[in-house]
C-alpha cells in the first residue's frame, strides 16, 4: 500500500510541512529510502535524523525546525503516531466468516455468523462466540466459555472450560488460559490436589503474548482487567488480579493471589511472591524480586549491577560475612562509647 502524506494527515491528524509526497511503507530511521517514512521520537536521534535518507519524517514541533528540506508530519508524540500509521499500513485481517468443515464444534453453541472458526479448531459444548472473531487453526475452546466480539485466538491457543473473554482480546499462539492453579495440600506422605473451581476472566482489549499461562482461580476468578497487555512467556498464577492498562514484559512470574494495580509497568523477568498487593501506577524494573506489598506508587528495582566474574567473586566473599561485619561494627561502637564516657568522667 502507498499513501500520500496529505491522506495520512487527513486520517490520523498531525500537521503536514513541506511538499506532499507518496510513501510506500514505514522504515527504520537509519535505513529508510526516499519513498519511505520514518519517525524521530527523541532529540538524541538528531544526528541520525539529519543523515537519514527517508523521504518523510514524523517529528515533534521542536525537531521540525532542524529538518529543513524534508517532508514532515509534525505530531505531539511521534512514537504513538508511528504506531497508528503502522496500523493504517497493516490493518488487522478480517475474519473469513463461517465454520471450516474440518473444525469440530460441540453441542448447543452460539457462534456469530460473522466469525471464523478455522480448520482443526475445536469448540466445546455450550460455547458462545461473538461477532467478527477469528478462531485460528488448532485453537481449543473448552465447554461453557463465553467469548466477546472481535476476538482473535491465534493457532494452538487453549482456553479451558468456563473462561470469559471480553471484546477485542488477542491471545497469541501456544498460550493456555484457565489451566489449573498450583494448589496442593500435604497429606502425610504425598500431595493432595486442590480442585481449582474458579475461572479466568480477560476483560476488553486485553492482549496475551505467545506461550503465556494464566491459571484459573482456586475459588474466585483470576482476572486481567481492561486494556492490560501481557508479553510472551509470562506465568500468572491462580487468583491473581491485574489492573487496567498494566503492561507486563516477558518471563515475569506472578505467584498466587497477588494483586497488581492499574497502569503499572513490569520489566522482564521480574518475580512476585504470593498474597501481596502493588499500588496503581507502580513501575517495576526488569529482574526485580517483589517480596512484599508496595503501597506507594513509584519506581522500584532490585537488580544487582552487572560486573566481571572476578569482581563478583571478590564481592561475594564479603557478602557472605556481612553479618559478622555488622556484629563487629556494633562491638566497636560500644567500645568507642565506653571510651568516650571514660574520658568525660572527672579524675580524682
* Residue 220, domain CATH: 2.160.10.10
Given the residues 100, 172, 190, 238, the one annotated as active site: 238
267 and 232, same domain (yes or no): yes
Q: Mark whether 211 and 245 lie in a shared domain.
A: yes
Q: What is the pLDDT of residue 199?
A: 98
pTM here?
Answer: 0.90
- My answer on whether 246 and 123 are in the same domain is yes
- Do 131 and 159 fall into the same domain? yes
CB 118 within 8 Å of CB 136: yes
277 and 325 within one domain: no
Domain-ending residue, one of 72, 89, 106: 89
**Residues 73 and 216 grouped into a single domain:** no
- Spatial distance between the Cα atoms of 128 and 144, rounded to a whole number of angstroms: 8
Domain coverage including residue 106: 98-300
Same-domain check for residues 83 and 105? no
179 belongs to a structural domain:
yes
55 domain residue, yes or no: yes
The DSSP code sequence of 83-110 is HHHHHHHSPPPPP--EE-TT-EE-TT-E
Would you state the pLDDT for residue 228?
98
Nearest residue to 114 via CA among 101, 128, 93, 133: 133
Assess whether 217 and 322 both reside in one domain.
Answer: no
Does 77 fall in a domain?
yes
Domain total of the chain = 3
Residue 9 lies in a domain: yes
How buried is residue 281: exposed, middle or buried, by Cβ count under 10 Å (0-12/13-18/19+)? Answer: middle
Beta-carbon contacts of 97 under 8 Å, excluding residues fewer than 6 positions away, are 113, 114, 115, 116
Same domain flag for 42 and 172: no
3-state secondary structure of 8: helix
Non-local CB neighbours of 160 within 8 Å, separated by 6+ positions: 142, 176, 177, 178, 179, 200, 216
Q: What is the pLDDT of residue 348?
A: 57
261 neighbors 224 (Cβ within 8 angstroms): no
Tell me what pLDDT residue 346 has: 67
- Given this model, what pLDDT does residue 72 score? 96
Divide the 348 residues of the chain into consecutive groups of 10 and give the mean pLDDT of each group. Answer: 96 96 95 96 90 94 85 96 96 95 98 98 98 98 98 98 98 98 96 97 98 97 98 98 98 98 98 98 97 97 88 88 92 90 71
**Cα–Cα dist 77/94, whole Å:** 29
Q: Find the CATH number of the domain harbouring 23.
A: 3.40.1390.10
Residue found under cell 491485574: 242
Catalytic, 347? Answer no
Inside any domain, residue 242:
yes
In a domain, 8, yes or no: yes
55 and 37 Cβ atoms separated by less than 8 Å: yes
Same domain, 116 and 249: yes
Helix residue ranges, H only, the chain: 5-12, 46-51, 61-64, 78-89, 309-320, 322-344
Residues 59 and 144 in one domain: no
Count of CB atoms situated within 10 Å of the CB of 118: 20
Domain finish residue from 40, 62, 89 = 89
User: Is 174 part of any domain?
Assistant: yes
CA dist., res. 82 & res. 55, Å (int): 15
Q: Please indicate, yes or no, if residue 348 is contained in any of the structural domains.
A: no
In a shared domain, residues 116 and 49: no
Amino acid at each position: 500500500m502507498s499513501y500520500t502524506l496529505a491522506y495520512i494527515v487527513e486520517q490520523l491528524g498531525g500537521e503536514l510541512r513541506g511538499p506532499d509526497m507518496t510513501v510506500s511503507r514505514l522504515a527504520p530511521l537509519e535505513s529508510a529510502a526516499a519513498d519511505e517514512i520514518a519517525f524521530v521520537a527523541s532529540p538524541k536521534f538528531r544526528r541520525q535524523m539529519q543523515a537519514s535518507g527517508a523521504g518523510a519524517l514524523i517529528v515533534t514541533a521542536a525537531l521540525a525546525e532542524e529538518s529543513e528540506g524534508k517532508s514532515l508530519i509534525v505530531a505531539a508524540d511521534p512514537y504513538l503516531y508511528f504506531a497508528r500509521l503502522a496500523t493504517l499500513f497493516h490493518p488487522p485481517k478480517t475474519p473469513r466468516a463461517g465454520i471450516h468443515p474440518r473444525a469440530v464444534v460441540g453441542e448447543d453453541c452460539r457462534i456469530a455468523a460473522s466469525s471464523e472458526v478455522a480448520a482443526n479448531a475445536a469448540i466445546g459444548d455450550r460455547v458462545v462466540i461473538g461477532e467478527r472473531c477469528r478462531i485460528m487453526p488448532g485453537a481449543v475452546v473448552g465447554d461453557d466459555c463465553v467469548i466477546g466480539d472481535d476476538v482473535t485466538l491465534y493457532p494452538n491457543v487453549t482456553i479451558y472450560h468456563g473462561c470469559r473473554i471480553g471484546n477485542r482480546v488477542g491471545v497469541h499462539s501456544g498460550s493456555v488460559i484457565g489451566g489449573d492453579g498450583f494448589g496442593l495440600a500435604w497429606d502425610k506422605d504425598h500431595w493432595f490436589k486442590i480442585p481449582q473451581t474458579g475461572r479466568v476472566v480477560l476483560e476488553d482489549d486485553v492482549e496475551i503474548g505467545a506461550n503465556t499461562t494464566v491459571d484459573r482461580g482456586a475459588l474466585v476468578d483470576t482476572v486481567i482487567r481492561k486494556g492490560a497487555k501481557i508479553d510472551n512467556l509470562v506465568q500468572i498464577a491462580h487468583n491473581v488480579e491485574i489492573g487496567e492498562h498494566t503492561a507486563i514484559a516477558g518471563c515475569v512470574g506472578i505467584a498466587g493471589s497477588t494483586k497488581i494495580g492499574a497502569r503499572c509497568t513490569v520489566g522482564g523477568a521480574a518475580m512476585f511472591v504470593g498474597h501481596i498487593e502493588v499500588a496503581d501506577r507502580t513501575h517495576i524494573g526488569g529482574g526485580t524480586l517483589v517480596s512484599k506489598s508496595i503501597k506507594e506508587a513509584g519506581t522500584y528495582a532490585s537488580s544487582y549491577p552487572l560486573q566481571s566474574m572476578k569482581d563478583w567473586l571478590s564481592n561475594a566473599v564479603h557478602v557472605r560475612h556481612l553479618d559478622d561485619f555488622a556484629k563487629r561494627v556494633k562491638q566497636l561502637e560500644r567500645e568507642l562509647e565506653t571510651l568516650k564516657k571514660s574520658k568525660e568522667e572527672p579524675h580524682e
